[in-house]
Chain A
Amino acid sequence: MSRYVLYAEGKSFFHSLDPRSKIALVVCVFVWSSVFNHPLYTGTVLGAVLALVLISGVASRLKLFWFGLVSLATMSLILWPLFRRGGENVLFEAMGIVFTQESVMYGLAVAFRLVAMVLSGLLLLTTTRIEDLELALTRLGMPYSMAFGISAVFRFIPAMVGDGLTILAAQRARGVNVVSGNVFSRMKNSAAIIVPLFITTMRRFGELPLAIESRGFVPMARRSYLLELRFRARDVVFTATVLFLAALSIYMRLNGYGVVFPHVI
C-alpha cells in the first residue's frame, strides 16, 4: 500500500519548511506560469520546480505520475497550435491548417505551465504530512471541516487503489475482459470495474461521518491540535522571496516580457 501514499518523511530543506511556505510556493508557481506564455519563461518555472523535486529527493515517489504528466504536456503541444491561431512565421501547412512558429511556441509554453502547476502540487503532497497540510489550511482561514475533507480524500486514495486492484482481479477471475476486445465490449466490461469500485467506495465513505462524529467531533466547534506549526526565519525568507518573485513576474508581464501572444493568458 505504501506505493500509493505520496508523503514520505525526509530531511531536505523543502521538507523542513512550514506547510504554509510550501502553499505559498504552489500559489506562486501558479502565478509565474500563468502570467507568461513564452516557453522560455514557463520552462524556467518548470525547471525550478523540477530542481526542487530532485533536491527534495521525492522524484521516485512520483513514479506513478510521470506518464500522466508527459501525456498532459503532449496533449497541450498537439492541441494548442490547432486552436491558438495567429502569428506570422508559418512553419508548415497540413490539411488546410496553418501552423505558425508562434502557435507552436505557445503550445510548448502552456505544456510547461500545466506540468509545472501539477508538479508543484505533487511536490507539496510528497513533502508534507497530510495532517500538517490540514492544519496549515485551517491556520490560513479555511473551515476545519473543509480542510479535513481534503485530507480525507488523500488518506483514502490508497484504500481505493487497493479496492480497485482486488476488483480487477475478482472480475478477471470470472471472465470479464477489460484489456482487449472492441471499444464497445471494453466499455461495457469497464462497468464491471467501475460499478463495484463506486459501490465499495460509497459504503466506505458512507460510514466515515459516523466514525468522525463518534470521536467527539462537532462540526464548526473549536478544537485543539496535537501538531504544532512553526513559521521560522527560513519560512519568512522563503515566502518573502517567492512572493517578491511573483510580484516581479506580474510587473514584467505588464511591461511586455515573456509573451508570445500579448493579449491572452
Chain B
Amino acid sequence: MTKAVEVRDVWVKYRGSADYALKGVSLEVSEGEVVAIVGPTGAGKTTLCKVMTGLIPNMGVYDDFKGEVRVYGESTYSKRVGDISKSCAMVMQDYETQLFRTTVELEVAFGPENLLLDREEIRRRVQWALKLVGLSGLEKRYSFSLSGGQKQRLAIASLLSLQPSVLILDEATSDLDPRGKREVYDVMRKLIDEEVIKSLVFVDHHLDKVAEFADRLVTVVDGRILVEGEARDVLGRVEELRSLGLKPPEVAEICWDLGVRANSVPVLLDEALRVFPKVRSVRMPERRIIRGERVAAELSDLWFAYEGQNWVLKGVNLRVHEGEMLALIGQNGSGKTTLAQVLMGILKPNHGKVWIFGRDATPEDVSERARDVGYIFQNPDYQIFSQTVYEELAYGLRARGLSEADVERKVKEVADMTGISHLLNEDPFFLQKGERQRVAVASILALNPRIIILDEPTTGLSPGETRALMNTVLNLNRGGTTVITITHEMWVVAEYCTRTVMMADGRVVLDAPTREAFSSRETLIAHDIFPPETCELSRRVAGLTLLTPKEFVEHVEVV
C-alpha cells in the first residue's frame, strides 16, 4: 500500500505555552484507509491534523518543532501549505472562517483558481465538487444564506475542487445540528464509497460514527498517541475509552457490561442485534419525578418575527414547571433559540404573553427578568471580558450592588460548585474552551437564577467535559432550579432531561417525557433527529425504550 502521510516522532510546542502540544507522535496513513483520531479536548488532535497538512510548522510561530512529516514521500518542512494542500487538505471545525467568498460557486472556484487552471476546467471542477456534496443548483447562492450543514459541505467541496488524495476532517460535524451532521456523514460515505479520495482522516467525538466509518482508530491523550489499532478492536475496549473521558459506542457499552461477545465486542447496532442473547427479564424503569407544582414559566400563543411576516415562532404554547429539567430539541432555524430569547426578554414577542412565576413578565425587559432567569450562550467568548476569572464572576454581583464581602463569598461558592476554584486568578482568555464555558456558566449561576436556559452549552466539548458541565447543572436542578437546555446531543437529553420538547418550523411538534418522546422514533426521524442507539436496541430486544446504556444494563437481564 502506498503511504500517503507519514508522521515521525513529531514534537510541537506553541509559542508561549508551557508544555508541548505533541510529544513524539508517529502515525502513518496509507492509501485506501479511513483513520479516526479521538481524544479529550486539548489533547493535540487538531495539532496533529495541522501537522499532517503542513500548517505546522509552516504557518504560525512555534517555540519548537521536531520530527519529520512526509506527504507522498515529500517532506512538508518549509514547503508552501498551498502546495501541500493539493494532495492533503483539511476541513476545519468552524465552517464560518473557512468560507470567505460571497457565493457558493466562487467559494469552490477559489482553489482551482490558485492552481492556475483555465476557466473551463475551473467551471468543470466546481460542478463536479458541488455535485459530490449535494449542492448542485445552489451555485449563485450567497454562502451566508446557507444552513450550517450546507456551509460545512461547501467547505468540503471547496477543498475537493483541488482534487486532493487525502482529506482530513477536524471535528467537521461538531458545530452542526443533527441534520447538518447527517448531511456531512452522508458526504463522507460517498467520498469513501466512490473513492473520490484515497484516504480519509477524521476527528470526531461520536464514537458510534467512528465505528461506522473508520478502519483504524488512534487515541491522542496529552500530546501522545495512547492506543492505536483496528477501529472495532479499540472501540470494544470500553473501560479504557471511558477512563479517557470518551464515550464508547452505546452498543459496545451495553454489550461489554452484559458480557455479550461475538468474536469481539459488537460496536454496531446490526452486529449487536445478530448476536444479542435472549432477554430473561425486564424491569420497568421508575418514572422519574418530573416536576413541582408551581409553574415557573409559561409562554402562551407566542408569535415572533425578526422582520415583516416572516414568523419564526408561530403560536407557541409551553408551560414549564418548577424543578423541571427540560430539553429543547430541533434543527437550527426551528425557533429554539428565538423561543429562549423571548423567554429571557432579549426579544419582544409580536403577540402572546410570557409568564414567569405567575406574573405577567411580557412588558419586563431583560434586566428585570434576569432576576429570575439566567441565560448561558453557546459561545463563552460572547460573554467573557474580564482579566481574571474572579472579576468575571464578580461582575454581575457588583452590578446588583452586593457588598464586596458578599461578592467574595458568592464567587467562592459558585466557583466551588462549577469546579473552577483553582482558576480564579487566571486570565480567562487563555483557558481551554471547556473551562471558559464553565466560567460563563458560573458567572450566570452567581446571580442565583431560579430558571436557567442553556443554549447549546456542550458544543465543542468532549463527552467528559459535557458530563462534568451537565452534572453541575443537574445538581442545581436537584436543588430546585428549573433548567431548559437547548441541545443537539441526544445522549445528553437521554441522560439528563426528564422532558423533551421538539420544535420544527416555529411550532412545538412533540412535547413529552423523554422516554415517551424517544419512543416516537418515526416522528423524530421525520425531523432528522436520531435517538441514541440504546433506545433502538432496547426496543428491538426488550420491547420498551430504555434511555442510557446504564439504564439498559440495570433493567435488562439476559440469558
Contacts and interface: CB of A to CB of B under 8 A. Distances in A.
Contact of B396 (A175, A194, A211, A226): A175
Contacts of A223: 113-116
B432 to A, nearest CB: 13
Nearest to B365: A172
A226 B96 contact: no
B466 interface: no
Contacts of A174: 370, 374-375, 383, 395-396, 443-444, 447
A98 interface: no
A1 B144 contact: yes
B341 interface: yes
Given A170-B377, A215-B159, A226 B122 contact: yes
A55 B126 CA distance: 35
B344 interface: yes
B119 A158 contact: no
Interface residues of A, number: 54
B557 interface: no
Contacts of B90: 214
Contact of B109 (A2, A204, A214, A226): A226
Interface stretch (A30-38, A79-87, A195-203, A235-243): A195-203
B383 A171 contact: yes
A210 interface: yes
Contacts of A191: 385
A195 B447 CA distance: 22
A173 B399 contact: no
Given A1-B145, A163-B382, A226-B105, A214 B113 contact: no
B81 interface: yes
B385 A196 contact: yes
Contact of A196 (B81, B89, B117, B383): B383
Contacts of A159: 96, 144
A5 B92 CA distance: 25
A224 B116 contact: yes
A221 B110 CA distance: 14
Q: Tell me the dominant secondary structure on chain A's binding face.
A: helix
A189 to B, nearest CB: 9
B344 A173 contact: yes
Contacts of B447: 174-175
Interface string B516-547: 00000000000000000000000000000000
A213 B85 contact: yes
A140 interface: no
B162 interface: yes
A145 to B, nearest CB: 12
B85 A199 contact: no
Interface string A212-227: 1111111001111111
B450 to A, nearest CB: 15
A172 B367 CA distance: 7
Given A208-B97, A216-B111, A217-B82, A172 B346 contact: yes
Interface in A158-190: 158-159, 163, 166-167, 169-177
Interface string B31-63: 000000000000000000010010100011000
11 contacts: A2-B145, A130-B102, A166-B379, A169-B377, A194-B385, A203-B381, A204-B97, A208-B97, A217-B82, A224-B115, A226-B112
The 6 closest A-B pairs by CB, nearest first: A195-B385, A218-B82, A213-B81, A216-B114, A226-B109, A173-B375
